[in-house]
Structure 1
Amino acid sequence: MNKTELNHNKSLPSKEERHKLFGSVKPGPRTKPIDKKGMADLQNSKKDFLFDIDMVGISNVKHPIRIPSQLTPEIQTTIGTFSFGSSIAQGSKGTNMSRFTEQLDQYHNEGFAVDIATMKEFTKELAGRLKQNDSEVEVTFPWFFERKGPYSDLTGMNYADATIRVEYHKETGHDITVSLTGKITTLCPCSKEISEYSAHNQRGNVTMTIKLTDDFNEQEVDWKAALLEAAESNASARIHPVLKRPDEKMVTEQAYENPRFVEDIVRLVAADLYEYDFVESFTVMCRNEESIHLHDAVASLSYDKKQERE
């Protein structure tokens, strides 16, 4: 027989025998209840369990979501990565994990649009479902936006990584923190200064984390677009998915005209965030993927506007 031909003459035991060979056994006697009412609920046990728990929940939950946006595309479907949690008092043993995903599925079936108002409603309802005074939800997702070439007007799709974190407490209400990481081009001022006819540039990653004011109105301001503009407008140049030669000429010349260190980026972005009325406090970090080094260059700063009022 030709060596390349398969031998189909092997005699195999039945599938049941194969499973038995690899350790499967027949079901044993069933003595415990099979309906929920008759089952023990260990997580709802009430005793002195030594300590309060700050947070218990689940994380790395991936789920389809809808994102409203003031930039095109205005309605988009993407994948959100969720974490859910709540505190547990010393007298309670634990939480019912299934209630987190149960509520997520309920919202999904109703057309889950991830915006600030919906997330506030979600956390308040979740605390009630868990029979706790508080809950917290965080979701991270890629947010897409259309970008045109500066000369050709040819469009493509860019994205930034966005995060919404909402903490709810029955007595104090909601605390909302949002974050956006956008990519930019930076050109090295030192390289431009010392070189005869060149300057190295690199891709920068600007991460802005802000606490929203209590009166933030998402109908008036798309926080995602505002943070993106803060990062990109202070860069050496913006990132483009489609560039023809006239576009490339404009972008590279713009970068040469606007050299930026990572220190420059975080200060300039911070100035924009400071001027946004809906920002209560913020942290800005820039990380440059250096083109002539193996290391990255990083800088960060934080500022809290409340300090000025104290």
Structure 2
Amino acid sequence: MDKIEFPKKQLPDKAERHKLFGSVEPGPRTKPSEKKEMADLQNTKKDFLFDLDSVGIANVKHPITIKSSIIPAEQTSIGTFSFSSTIDKSSKGTNMSRFTEQLAEYHHQGFVADFHTLKLFTKDLAKRLKQRDARIEVSFPWFYERRGPHSDLAGMNHADLTMSVEYDSIKGYTLGASLSSLVTTLCPCSKEISEYSAHNQRGNVKMSVSLDEHFDDRETDWKELLLEAAESNASARLHPVLKRPDEKMVTEQAYENPRFVEDMVRLVAADLYELPFVQKFRVECRNEESIHMHDAIASVTYDKLEEKAVAQG
């Protein structure tokens, strides 16, 4: 078979093509190129009218390492970061590059997403920014192994996590965390009124907690404990791998443990209340109803510190 020859365009070279589409020759350079000679507008000192609650950068994606007390013991993930600090009205702005500069330095040391690391990071960041305070928040998916209840076949589930640390040189540390996990819930009303069967749904349980500032997750894995609070109170857990004997067991377990959305948030709240390192919490549950077009929602918020203050008079 003869080779087919296609006509070939005679194109201008790349430099000429760039000119064709708008590129121009560099103009005269009149401003300094050395940092020490450049104007530093961000560090201008005047009365700029208002103190700012928060100045920084957000939506920074960066690799992280996650350590867990359950399999896998160590994994890599992608964290979405935000960094900020306050500035007073005498400062025009902050030094944005210092946030990512410090993140790069911590990455070279091996950035572990735990509260020990985040506390060190915020304290170092405040010093680098020459501010009294600094804040970091990072969100990421966390994967964990789940085995079928009968077959013992393993697969990977995941939950969505957020960690935050705020450092203040006077007030100390403020620690926060949230975990969002999917579960199965079976409707108690449907079970009660039906001759057989009952409708179920997938529930999304989100727990947001404030932690004691001395909490150390190198000793206690908060991720596992919050995950267990959600899953152990549901009608059934979700499984990535289910053979027929597994499916039978999970289906029957759900039928034996019916849960309204209201039941879920109260039961999870009870588990969080019993965790000594949790000071405040909010539990939300959203059920994607299988026989309705709408979702069912419920939430509960509780402050153990407020309870303690009331008890002390």
Same fold per TM (> 0.5)?
yes
1:132-174 C-alpha deviation (Å, 9 max, x unpaired): 1011000001111111110111111111011111011110110
Q: In the alignment, residue 144 of structure 1 is paired with which amino acid?
A: F
Structure 1 CA distance, aligned partners of 2:236 and 2:199? Answer: 13
* Whole-Å separation in 1 of the counterparts to 2:39 and 2:262: 58
Question: What residue number does 1:252 align with?
Answer: 251
Tell me if 1:66 matches 2:65: yes
Q: For 1:255 and 1:63, locate their aligned partners in 2 and report how far apart those are by CA, in whole Å.
A: 39
Native 8 Å contact 2:116 2:218 kept in 1: no
- Where in structure 2 are there 5+ consecutive unaligned residues? none
Structure 1 counterpart SS, 2:70: coil
Q: Which residues in structure 2 correspond to 1:9-48 (within 5 Å)?
A: 9-48=8-47
Residue 213 of structure 1, CA deviation:
1.5
Residue number in structure 2 paired with 1:109: 108
Indicate the residue corresponding to 2:93 in structure 1: 94
For residues 93-129 of structure 1, what are the alpha-carbon distances to aligned partners after superposition, in whole Å with 9 as ceiling and x for unaligned? Answer: 0011111111001000001111111100000000011
Distance 2:93 2:270 in 1: 45
Letter in 1 for 2:61: K
* 1:6–1:182 distance in 2 versus 1, CA, 3 Å: farther
2:151 paired residue number: 152
CA distance in 2, matches of 1:220, 1:123: 21
Aligned to 1:280: 279
**TM-aligned CA deviation for residue 293 of structure 1:** 1.9
Deviations 1:41-94 (A, max 9, x none): 110110111111110111111100001100111111111000000111100000
- Separation (CA, whole Å) in 2 of partners of 1:138 and 1:303: 22
Partner SS state of residue 301, structure 1: strand
State the 1:9 CA deviation.
Answer: 2.9
CA RMSD of aligned residues (A): 1.2
Structure 2 residue 127 is the aligned partner of structure 1 residue 128: yes
* Aligned residues with identical type, % of pairs: 69
Q: CA deviation at 1:14?
A: 2.4
Letter in 2 for 1:79: I
Greater than 6 Å deviation, 4+ residue runs: none
The Cα of 1:21 is off from its aligned counterpart by: 1.7
Please say if 1:234 is aligned against 2:233.
Answer: yes
CA distance in 2, matches of 1:307, 1:40: 50
User: Do residues 138 (structure 1) and 164 (structure 2) align?
Assistant: no
Please state if 1:205 is matched with 2:195: no
Alignment of 1:181-220 (within 5 A): 181-220=180-219
CA offset at residue 295 of structure 1?
1.8
List per-residue Cα deviations over 1:6-29 (Å, max 9, x = no partner).
953333222222211211110000
Structure 1 position 216, deviation (Å): 2.0
Give the whole-Å Cα distance in 2 for the aligned partners of 1:62 and 1:290. Answer: 34
Count of residues paired in the alignment:
306
Query: Distance in 1 between the 2:35 and 2:219 partners?
Result: 47
> 1:300 matched to which residue of 2?
299
Q: One-letter code of the match for 2:89?
A: Q
Match of 2:164 in 1: 165
Give 5+ residue unaligned stretches, structure 1. Answer: none
- Decide which moves more: 83-92 or 17-26: 17-26
Give, in whole Å, the separation in 2 of the partners of 1:248 and 1:75.
Answer: 29
- What amino acid is aligned across from residue 287 of structure 2 in structure 1? N
> 3-state SS of the aligned residue for 1:238?
coil
The residue type equivalent to 2:165 in the other structure is V
Specify the code of the residue in structure 2 equivalent to 1:17. E
Alignment partners' CA distance in 2, 1:220 and 1:133:
29
Distance 1:188 1:228 in 2: 22
TM-score when scaled to structure 1? 0.96
- d(CA) in 1 for partners of 2:25, 2:200: 66
Task: Determine helix, strand or coil for the equivalent of 1:285.
Answer: strand
Shift of 1:294: 2.2
The answer for the alignment partner of 2:308 in structure 1 is 309
CA–CA separation in structure 2 for the residues paired with 1:22 and 1:117? 52
2:18 is paired with a residue of what secondary structure?
helix
Name whichever of 10-19 and 195-204 sits farther off.
10-19
The code of the aligned residue for 2:161 comes to A
Question: Distance in 1 between the 2:100 and 2:293 partners?
Answer: 42
